[in-house]
Amino acid sequence: MPVTEPLTILGIETSCDETAAAVVRRHGSGQPGEILSNVVFSQIEEHAPFGGVVPEIAARAHVEHLDGLIELALRDAEIGWDDLDGIAATAGPGLIGGVIVGLMTAKGIAAARGLPFIGLNHLEGHALTARMTDALPFPYLLLLVSGGHSQLLVVEGVGHYRRLGTTIDDAVGEAFDKVAKLLGLGYPGGPAVERAAREGNPLRFPLPRPMMGRPGCDFSFSGLKTAVRQAAEGLETVTGQDKADIAASFQNAVADVLCERTENAMALADDVIPPGHRRLVVAGGVAANMLLRECLMVSAHACGYEFVVPPLKLCTDNGAMIAWAGAERLALGLTDPIDAGPRARWPLDPDAAPARGAGVKA
């Protein structure tokens, strides 16, 4: 049964290396969300010595920090427990130890306070963020680019996603992270590559553009990553300038591929997205990349699409996107039983066939 609005939701995110809690208010259909608080503890310092996320360390860090962050989120929002209408937490996909920490915490609060509980697909959090920021109506085209996923989807409604394309190997964020690691640029990889690329010559290394020119809108990044390694290995010594040039060449190749694939998706989506709704939304951590934002905006406009991208801090993982998606679900009366389990893998479009050549990615 739909619920009376406004709805004030606490959102908890613990699926990777950010521990996050937020309070968001949904005032009603067609209105943007109001972020009352949004606190994120980044575990960068804990993982940096290992050059990437260590799942066990992430889970422990979530345990250590989550309670304090929830308290802070309520305090920043200037509300008490009685002001909440529901608790939402990421239930997957992600690193399972971390997911369990957030999920069990949310269930504990929901049970103790007698509040509705929503166990969310993390990807739905990214997918619906543009409705919180820009009050976008359904349907719209979504390019979801994060550390674990690269997908093009038509967002038809809450819980309704039609996948047009996906990666057949690495996710784009994963490619950024691996390239950063092999160039010794550090972790987290995406921002490190972007920073290095600013000083680099994007034309120095002619890297491949996998899948470009092929029909459809699937992606592949594994070959590009290998080509980057070969470019680095082909140099006698790798100077700071070499690294910058490789980073810039890699970033340009990614931008070319993402734009071309997304242009194909816009052409395909024309059949299902009516003229007044032609909007391209970019979401997920990689959407924080300035070059990609600029190139995708040009592509969108060339295809007659409006371009919508959330502010930087709402692209990377955060609690507000989880609270908002929880509010969207609760508004429709969609809650989860208290015994809903965590899910390491959880595709947004369960009907989509695996991409040709795909491994195990959702």
Q: Considering only 2-10, 53-61, 139-147, 247-255, which stretch makes contact with Zn ion by CB under 5 A?
A: 139-147
- Nearest distance from C-beta of residue 123 to Zn ion, angstroms: 7
C-beta of 18 vs 336, nearer to ligand KG4: 18
CA–CA gap between residue 264 and residue 282 (Å, rounded): 15
The residue type at 335: T
Q: In the bound complex, what is the minimum distance in angstroms from residue 362's beta carbon to Zn ion?
A: 13
- Name the minimum Å distance from CB 121 to ligand KG4: 11
Q: Which is nearer to ligand KG4, 116 or 310 (CB)?
A: 310
Among candidate residues 347, 321, 359, the one with its CA nearest the CA of residue 23: 321
CB-based contact 333:2 (threshold 8 Å): yes
- The contact set with ligand KG4 (CB under 6 A) reads 16, 146-148, 173, 176-177, 188-191, 194, 284-286, 288-289, 316-317
The yes or no reply on residue 317 touching Zn ion (CB under 5 A) is: yes
Q: To the nearest whole angstrom, how small is the minimum distance from the Cβ of residue 334 to ligand KG4?
A: 22
Structure token digits, residue 282:
């970019």
Whole-number Å distance between alpha carbons of 6 and 174:
38
Distance in Å, CB of 86 to ligand KG4, minimum: 23
- Smallest gap, in angstroms, from Cβ of residue 222 to ligand KG4? 15
**Separation CA 61–CA 294 (nearest Å):** 35
Cβ atoms of 361 and 148 within 8 Å: the answer is yes
DSSP 257-294: HHHHHHHHHHHHHTTTS-GGG-EEEEESGGGG-HHHHH
Q: Smaller CB distance to ligand KG4: residue 8 or 316?
A: 316
- Picked from ligand KG4, Zn ion, none, the partner binding residue 286 (CB below 5 to 8 A depending on kind) is ligand KG4
Residue 190 binding target from Zn ion, ligand KG4, none, CB below 5 to 8 Å by type: ligand KG4
Whether 92 and 99 have beta carbons less than 8 Å apart is answered as yes
Q: Rounded to an integer, what is the distance from CA 142 to the centroid of its chain?
A: 11
* Residues present in the chain in total: 362
Distance CA 159, CA 161 (A): 6
C-beta closer to ligand KG4: residue 12 or 286: 286
CB of 55: closest distance to ligand KG4 in angstroms?
13
Q: How far apart are CA 86 and CA 67, in angstroms?
A: 17
Cβ distance to Zn ion smaller for residue 317 or 328: 317
Residue 218 vs 317, nearer CB to Zn ion: 317
Out of ligand KG4, Zn ion, none, what residue 173 binds, judged by CB under 5 to 8 A for its kind, is ligand KG4
- Is 146 a binding residue for Zn ion by CB under 5 A? The answer is yes
Instruction: Tell me if residue 90 falls in helix, strand or coil.
Output: strand
* Residue (258 or 268) nearer to Zn ion, CB: 258
End-to-end CA distance of the chain: give it in Å, rounded: 31
Instruction: Return the range that interacts with Zn ion (CB under 5 A); candidates 34-42, 140-148, 208-216, 293-301.
Output: 140-148
- Binding-site ranges for Zn ion (CB under 5 A): 146, 317
